[in-house]
A = this chain, B = another copy of it.
């Protein structure tokens, strides 16, 4: 009869069966050279035989390291975040880290809860794209950063902090490039569907639009710009509204692919041809851009690279001994314009 009480095998069970001590079993399973090769193999064989399942949280408790990364994103089912997470997982896998993903649903309150939860689960580092509501968790993040806790922000980062360890793309440059592309195609009256301006990503895309227009000596007035609340809907209404204005736009740079696509839809309903009558370019390079017709030009944010770099930096912050080795600067990636049918030459 075995001495086991429950169904799960522990190193003590293995040790008992083999007439060894749990510490030896632990060392053997960790390939510690202090244990003879013979014993190591014996232990491993027995572990397999007894269907041993290591208890990671016990090890984490003792070691003070869980080898786990916590990730918080607004919503898991937005393809951008999905791809960022893919990049994170790739690097984490490589470095022997696990990944726990949580959703804030764009609520900074829930985001705060998630931070607490993940820290309670003893994650070694945190990767966060902050919620897009109007709240913030500046106090919390300020405390975490200055305590030296490995944390990396990406995409949408807390704006008003002095030092923010983050991986972002140059949205202003992206907005500039998208607009410049339209200008290069010969369009002059270019409108911009911008996102909520309290979010710096949308603000920067808008500024980039202004940069390009100014550089080309093109006019921008109140009628050139329209703000959309949620980037999911309103694209149709927004387009109709823009189309009513005089002079009518020849091209539209939308801060989101969603509103660009629904804008194109509204355009087609009005009997307009894209891009002949009205050209479009979006932002984010969503996968469905290839599926709609005409296919939608957009600005790629390099999500996978973003995830990889953010993870690498976080892991570096975890594994480096020196506290000052913490990557605390703001790494900026360059976006790329992806040209498709919707922004063809005028």
Contact = CB atoms under 8 A, between A and B. Distances in A.
Contact of A122 (B57, B78, B288): B57
Contacts of A83: 77
Contact of A85 (B55, B58, B77, B120): B77
B89 A120 contact: no
Given A66-B57, A121-B57, A7 B85 contact: no
A18 interface: no
A62 to B, nearest CB: 10
Nearest to A143: B51
B147 A7 contact: yes
A59 to B, nearest CB: 9
Contact of A288 (B57, B81, B147, B288): B288
Interface string A45-85: 00000000111111011000010100000011111011101
B55 A120 contact: yes
Contact of A61 (B57, B102, B121, B261): B57
A201 B291 CA distance: 24
A100 B103 contact: no
Contact of A293 (B56, B58, B100, B293): B293
A27 interface: no
27 contacts: A53-B119, A54-B120, A56-B121, A57-B61, A57-B66, A57-B121, A58-B61, A61-B61, A75-B82, A76-B76, A76-B82, A76-B85, A76-B101, A77-B77, A77-B78, A77-B79, A77-B83, A77-B85, A77-B86, A86-B103, A98-B121, A258-B291, A265-B291, A265-B293, A268-B293, A291-B292, A292-B293
Given A57-B60, A100-B100, A292-B293, 12 more contacts: A53-B116, A53-B119, A53-B120, A55-B61, A77-B81, A82-B82, A85-B103, A98-B121, A99-B102, A258-B291, A261-B291, A262-B291
Interface of A: 7, 53-58, 60-61, 66, 68, 75-79, 81-83, 85-86, 89, 98-103, 116-117, 119-122, 147, 258, 261-262, 265, 268, 288, 291-293
